[in-house]
Amino acid sequence: MTRRPYIVGNWKMHGTRAMLSEARAIDRAAQRHMKVEVAIAPPYTLIHAIHREAEQIAVGAQDCHQADGGAHTGDVSAAMIADAGAKFVILGHSERRQMHGESDALVRAKAESALAAGLRIIMCCGESAETRESGKAVAFVKRQLKASLPPADAMPADVAERLTIAYEPIWAIGTGTAATTDDIAEMHGVIRALLVDLFGPEQGAEVRILYGGSVKPDNAAAIFAVPDVGGALVGGASLTADSFMGIALAASEPFEN
Ligand code: 13P
């Protein structure tokens, strides 16, 4: 692969200030693995504190509202998270789509707002177990991703710098059972072809595609050896520096994609 592997921890709704020591440990370890780009997306409440202390890792958010501001009680805008120190935002995670009813159109509006605020985005996609069992996973993910991404003419020129895709099959999230390397290879190949189609051969080939869903230190190396895997979006195993950096270490071994 041509770009540095990108290993992102999604802390979900885990973490109080007591977790800052873990973020510090991740930051220190990341300084020893410069071949890997390491980042964490903590809850909103920890973004600024981690941003202030981190020397190596980037900090991001797990969502943002699509509007710039206004009467939206409880919501946080892209500009606000950027102001707190976030460099990126995860959008369209299946937990947002399922638990908050986020549609593709809403996710797309959030992406446009985040890009306008100068953030990088990690756009999530992934099918349910039922969709996979019915043999429609590829068609579903293509349609979901196409409908969730801003059109090429609304993207910044440096698409590959600002956009990352995360393929996270819902059935693999938090279950301890990652997708097989064959399934990952098939879907990442499909996503790569879609990106080339949407954004052209140069930018489309450079956008990193992360795999997410039960990535652990002991299965990471096999996943990173799959063509078109540019890193991982990690949930549970990102909550301790030991396991998260075990995954980053697997990504720092030379692997060709
Ligand atoms: P787990 O790594 O806990 O399966 O979660 C994956 C995920 O949803 C990351 O966004």
Structural tokens at position 89? 């935002």
In a domain, 150, yes or no: yes
Judged against a pLDDT cut of 80, whether residue 2 lies above it is answered with no
Active site annotation includes 93: yes
In the 8-state DSSP scheme, what is residue 13?
T
pLDDT for residue 113:
98
User: How remote is the CA of residue 235 from the centroid of ligand 1, in Å?
Assistant: 3
pLDDT for residue 115:
98
Share of the chain above pLDDT 70, in %: 98
List, in order, residues 6 or more apart from 119 with CB less than 8 Å away: 60, 64, 78, 81, 82, 86, 87, 88, 89
Catalytic member of 51, 65, 93, 188: 93
pLDDT for residue 42:
98
Q: Would the CB of 141 count as within 6 Å of ligand 1?
A: no
Name residue 10's beta-bridge partners: 41
In a domain, 22, yes or no: yes
In the chain, what is the straight-line distance between the N-terminal and C-terminal CA atoms, in Å? 4
Domain that holds residue 105: 6-236+248-252
Q: Would the CB of 214 count as within 6 Å of ligand 1?
A: yes
In a domain, 62, yes or no: yes
pLDDT for residue 1:
46
In a domain, 1, yes or no: no
Q: What are the tens digits of pLDDT across the range 67-117?
A: 999 999 999 999 999 999 999 999 999 999 999 999 999 999 999 999 999
Share of the chain above pLDDT 90, in %: 96
Catalytic member of 95, 168, 188, 206: 168
CA–CA separation, 124 and 122 (whole Å)? 6
User: How remote is the CA of residue 11 from the centroid of ligand 1, in Å?
Assistant: 9
pLDDT for residue 106:
98
Q: Would the CB of 10 count as within 6 Å of ligand 1?
A: yes
Q: What are the tens digits of pLDDT across the range 177-197?
A: 999 999 999 999 999 999 999
In the chain, the number of structural domains is 1
In a domain, 242, yes or no: no
CA–CA separation, 63 and 71 (whole Å)? 18
pLDDT for residue 255:
54
User: How remote is the CA of residue 234 from the centroid of ligand 1, in Å?
Assistant: 5
CATH number, domain at 85? 3.20.20.70
Q: Would the CB of 15 count as within 6 Å of ligand 1?
A: no
In a domain, 257, yes or no: no
| pTM (2 d.p.) | 0.97
User: How remote is the CA of residue 95 from the centroid of ligand 1, in Å?
Assistant: 10
